[in-house]
Amino acid sequence: MPDARFDREEHEAAAALFEKGDYGRALDRYRELAERGSTYAQVFLGWMYHVGRGVEKDPDEAHRWYQRAADADSADGQFYLGILQWEKENYRAAVEWLEKAASRGHLPALVRLGDLYLVGAGVGVDRERAYRLFEEAARGGHLVAQREIAVRMIKGELGVMRIPQGLYALAGALWRVARLASKDPQNEKLRH
């Protein structure tokens, strides 16, 4: 969702350029909005540098833009800064940023943080904490979290009586993933 302090048309114009593949002009528009303080544009600009979409990959530049958004209290900025740290295998910093985003109910951050607690990266292994994070994200409608819980049920980790419920839950989650992905492939409930 574009930053409410900025004209929606400005964000839509930048997005239209990006979708047409006019990355140079889109980059210029997003940079202008980001410099003016749009956290949405800061995160999007960081993502462009992070994944190398329309620009050469530059983790330092991605970090700079994510950091600006995170410092302005953007949960998306905090999430992506955490992901960038995760990719650098700086798990303690990843946990710190993901915790900040998760504390604000950011669904993908809850799932990623659960993943870290599941394997003990940057924190001690805590399967119960991981499960609680997945549950919170699942209640918010995050489909990857719903799948994770269903898989745990199927494996019998939540008791053998819940295995059939897990099969049913997994089928439902997969159906919802396919349905949402066909309508809105960028939806936050699919991000992981």
Task: Give the domain ranges of the chain.
Answer: 1-72, 103-192
pLDDT (0 to 100) of residue 164: 86
Among 133, 116, 134, 132, residue whose Cα is nearest residue 124: 116
Q: What is the DSSP string of 153-191?
A: HHTTTT-GGGHHHHHHHHHHHHHHHHHHHHH-TT-GGG-
pLDDT (0 to 100) of residue 2: 56
Give the CATH class of 1-72.
mainly alpha
pLDDT (0 to 100) of residue 73: 95
Tell me the pTM. 0.83
pLDDT (0 to 100) of residue 75: 97
pLDDT (0 to 100) of residue 53: 92
Burial class of residue 135, CB neighbours in 10 A (0-12, 13-18, 19+): middle
Instruction: Please answer whether residues 48 and 40 qualify as being in contact, where contact means their C-beta atoms are separated by less than 8 angstroms.
Output: no
pLDDT of the chain along its 192 residues, tens only? 555 566 788 999 999 999 999 999 999 999 999 999 999 999 999 999 999 999 999 999 999 999 999 999 999 999 999 999 999 999 999 999 999 999 999 999 999 999 999 999 999 999 999 999 999 999 998 888 888 888 888 988 888 888 888 888 878 878 877 887 788 777 666 666
